[in-house]
Amino acid sequence: MCGRYVLKSAPRRILEQFGIADGRGETSRSEEWRPRFNLAPGQFAPVLRSDPAGPCLDMLRWGLVPAWAHDESFAQRTVNARGETASRLPAFRAAFKARRCIVPADGFYEWQYVQGSPHKQPWYISRRDGELLAFAGLWEHWQPRGRPEALRTFTIITTEASAWMQPVHARMPAILDAAGVQAWLDGATPPETLQGLLAPAPEDALQRHPVGRAVGNPRNDSPELPEAVEPDVSAS
C-alpha cells in the first residue's frame, strides 16, 4: 500500500516537470499549499487531472469518495486502489474509465517488518535522479444534498512490489514514466493499455534509505523526517 508520502516541491515545479501551461494550476485551495513531509490520508494535496481544457493542477483530498457514497467516511477504505482490480470494483471503475489523475510526490514511505523487533522499520523511497515521482491515481467528485460545492477526492493505485522493493513491502505505488503520464491522462487510451501501465517502476530508477519512526505519526511533518537514520538491527 501507500499510506504516507512527501511533496516538498512547489506547485510551479510540478507544472514545469509535467509540462502544464501557467495558469492551469490555480485552484480555490492553492493558497493553502505548503511543503509536506508526511502527507497522510484525509489531507489535501496537489493532483494532476484532465478537464476539457487539458491537464490542470488541483487540490484534492486523499481518500476517494464515489459519487454514490452515502457519506465521507467511505474514504477510509479507499486511500489506495489495487491496480489488479481497480477497473472492476464499484468504488473505482467509473473513475478508472473517465477520471484518472497523477499524484506527484518527491518520495514515499513504506514500513518493513523486522524480525525480533516490536517496531516496523520505515523507509523513504525516491527517484535516483531527484525528479518527482508520478503515481497513477483516480479522482472523483461527491456532492450530497445541501452541500454548496462538490468534494473532490483521489486515491493512489498500487501494484505488486518489484524484486528490489519486496524486502521492504509487498506492494508499492504504480509509478509512471513521462510517456505513461500522457497515456494515463489521455481519455482515448484503450483499457488494455491502461492496465499495462500499472507495473512496478524499473528497479534502477529508485533509491531508498531507512528513516526514523516519527513518520508513523501524521501530526509530525518536518523537513528532517525523510532524512536517513541507522536502521533497526536486521533491517536491510
User: Which sequence positions are flagged as catalytic?
Assistant: 2, 110
Q: 217-226 — which CB contacts under 8 Å span 24+ positions?
A: 218/4, 218/38, 218/40, 218/43, 220/38, 221/36, 221/37, 221/38, 222/37, 223/8, 223/35, 223/37, 225/6, 225/37, 225/38, 226/6, 226/37, 226/106, 226/107, 226/124, 226/126
- What φ, ψ does residue 209 adopt, rounded to 5°? -155, 155
Please count the residues of the chain: 236
